[in-house]
């Protein structure tokens, strides 16, 4: 655990030279300065983390981690845990939403089933994971990133994981179950109230995890959430920019922000999920979302949807003419 903590607290910064070169070229392009808004910031962000004045999106990888959750036995999801494995099969067959969106985005799709989809412990009665299980899950996430990647999109599949994400968010940022619990895959109001009580029970049981973000992630998280944390960490050490997906993915990455003040600087939040806690979590992490499409699916769908936006931003930066080239008058 201490090696992981050290890896989370000693993080490389972005490439300031690449960022500056991008700003310098941007100022010469045939548009009013700043007129491409966040697209300009996205190019600078990509280049600063890729260490390139000419950011590329040739190799975009979507990784979905799948895991099961013991807390499902508390009736926190309208769906049975067996759907996790069935959806892993559906990903392999090309039938899920993410298969379609990843194809449109020009991204490869990789699915990593965690621990043979064996569930974690029910965290209302015991820590979700012991140290070894947690560290193995973080390592699996780390290993799934690969080397020659220009952009990593992260997502998850795991029935019950909006409960784990809400518990993790509460453990890291405070508040009670009702502040973070949402409808997930379709709970009604009574179901959300029950889910909030289940989260409160978990928070009470693991209060001793206190302010150690890794202990909170181990006790209240899940296997696929730990893997996402490992993947975000690996990407940082390899300077690969990351698009985070919805509520679950954001909560999974959050411990790194709690361990290092700029721990998530190499990530962009692709969208604001309709899941109730996501807006507050995004604010707590100072991660303004790119898209707001009322998605509440997970699977990295929101992350993959933002890839074409990044492609457009890069195309503008690399392909636009300068004022001098086009013979367009600069401002007087
Ligand atoms: C068919 C199906 C496909 C999914 N794809 C993603 N999720 C999403 O819903 C689950 C979390 O919601 P909860 O906490 O309410 O169980 C996760 O698997 C998440 O990825 C799905 C859920 C279902 C049912
Ligand atoms: O935003 C998410 O990550 C989400 C929301 C609902 C269900 N699964 C995931």
The DSSP-derived string for 144-180 is TS-SS-SEEEEEEE-TTHHHHHHHHHHHHH---HHHH
- Closest ligand to 296 CA? 2
Gap from CA of 185 to ligand 1 centroid (Å): 6
Predicted local distance difference test score (pLDDT) of residue 190: 98
Is position 89 annotated as part of the catalytic site?
no
Residues of the chain with pLDDT under 70: none
Q: What is the pLDDT of residue 159?
A: 99
Ligand 2 pocket residue status of 90, Cβ below 6 Å: no
Regarding the beta carbon of 97 and ligand 2, being less than 6 Å apart is answered no
pLDDT at 332: 85
Ligand 2 proximity of 184 Cβ (cutoff 6 Å): yes
- What is the distance between the alpha carbons of residues 232 and 142, in angstroms, rounded to a whole number? 8
Give me the helix-helix angle, 307-319 and 97-105, nearest 10°. Answer: 0
For ligand 2, atom 5, the nearest C-alpha belongs to 296
Domains of the chain: 58-309 (3.40.50.10210)
Report yes or no for ipTM above 0.85: yes
Query: Whose C-alpha lies nearest to ligand 2, atom 9?
Result: 298
Mutate to test the pocket of ligand 1, among 298, 301, 304 (most ligand atoms within 8 A of CB): 298
Ligand 2 centroid vs 221 CA: distance in angstroms? 15
Ligand 2 contacts CB of residue 248 (under 6 A): yes
**pTM recorded for the entire structure:** 0.99
- Give the CA distances from residue 153 to residues 192, 228, 269, 326, in Å, rounded to whole numbers and listed in that order: 29, 10, 10, 36
Which of 165, 245, 297 most suits a substitution to test ligand 2, by most atoms within 8 Å of the C-beta?
297
Note the pLDDT of residue 211: 84
Class of residue 291 by CB neighbours under 10 A (exposed 0-12, middle 13-18, buried 19+): middle
Pocket test for ligand 2, best of 162, 169, 184, 191 (most atoms within 8 A of CB): 162
- CB-CB neighbours of 310 under 10 Å: 25
* Cα 144 to middle of ligand 1, angstroms: 21
Kind of pairing, strands 107-113 and 151-157?
A: unpaired
Q: Return all residues near 315 (Cβ < 8 A) that are at least 6 apart.
A: none
CB of 277 shorter than 6 A to ligand 2? no
79 C-beta closer than 6 A to ligand 1:
yes
How many A from CA of 237 to the centre of ligand 2?
27
d(CA 153, CA 319): 25
Which is catalytic among the residues 40, 156, 275, 299?
299
Q: Distance (Å, rounded) from C-alpha 183 to C-alpha 187? A: 5
301 lines ligand 1 (CB under 6 A): no
pLDDT at position 130:
98
The rounded Å distance from CA 184 to ligand 2 centre is 6
CA-CA distance, 311 to 192, in Å (whole number)? Answer: 38
pLDDT of residue 242: 99
Phi then psi for residue 119, to 5 deg, are -75, 155
pLDDT of residue 268: 99
Quick one: how many helices (H) and strands (E) in the chain? 16, 5
Give distance in angstroms: CA of 296 to centre of ligand 1.
9
* Kind of pairing between the strands at 107-113 and 60-66: parallel
Please tell me the chain's helix, strand, coil percentages from 3-state DSSP, rounded to the nearest 5.
55, 10, 35
Residue pair 47/16 in contact by the 8 Å Cβ criterion: no
């Amino acid at each position: 655990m201490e090696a992981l903590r050290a890896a989370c607290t000693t993080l490389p910064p972005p490439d300031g030279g690449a960022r500056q070169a991008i700003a310098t070229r941007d100022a010469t392009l045939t548009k009013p300065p700043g007129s491409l808004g966040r697209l300009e910031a996205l190019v600078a962000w990509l280049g600063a983390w890729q260490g390139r004045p000419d950011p590329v999106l040739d190799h975009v990888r979507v990784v979905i981690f799948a895991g099961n959750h013991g807390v499902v036995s508390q009736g926190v999801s309208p769906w049975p845990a067996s759907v996790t494995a069935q959806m892993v099969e559906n990903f392999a067959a090309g039938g899920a939403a993410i298969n379609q969106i990843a194809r449109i985005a020009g991204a490869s799709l990789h699915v990593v089933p965690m621990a043979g989809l064996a569930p974690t412990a029910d965290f209302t009665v015991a820590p979700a994971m012991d140290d070894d299980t947690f560290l193995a899950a973080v390592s699996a996430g780390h290993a799934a990133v690969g080397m020659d990647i220009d952009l990593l999109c992260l997502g998850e599949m795991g029935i019950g994981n909006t409960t784990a994400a809400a518990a993790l968010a509460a453990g890291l940022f405070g508040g009670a179950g009702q502040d973070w619990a949402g409808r997930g895959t379709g709970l009604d109001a009574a179901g959300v109230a029950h889910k909030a009580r289940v989260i409160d029970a978990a928070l009470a049981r693991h209060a001793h995890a206190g302010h150690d973000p890794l202990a909170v992630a181990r006790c209240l998280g899940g296997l696929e959430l730990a893997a996402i944390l490992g993947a975000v960490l690996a990407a940082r050490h390899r300077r690969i920019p990351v698009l985070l997906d919805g509520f679950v993915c954001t909560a999974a990455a959050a411990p790194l922000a709690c361990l290092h003040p700029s721990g998530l600087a190499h990530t962009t939040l692709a969208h604001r999920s309709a899941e109730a806690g996501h807006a507050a979590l995004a604010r707590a992490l100072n991660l303004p979302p790119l898209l707001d499409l009322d998605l509440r699916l997970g699977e990295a769908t929101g992350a993959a949807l933002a890839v074409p936006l990044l492609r457009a931003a890069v195309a503008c930066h690399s392909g636009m003419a300068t004022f001098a080239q086009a013979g367009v008058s600069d401002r007087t």
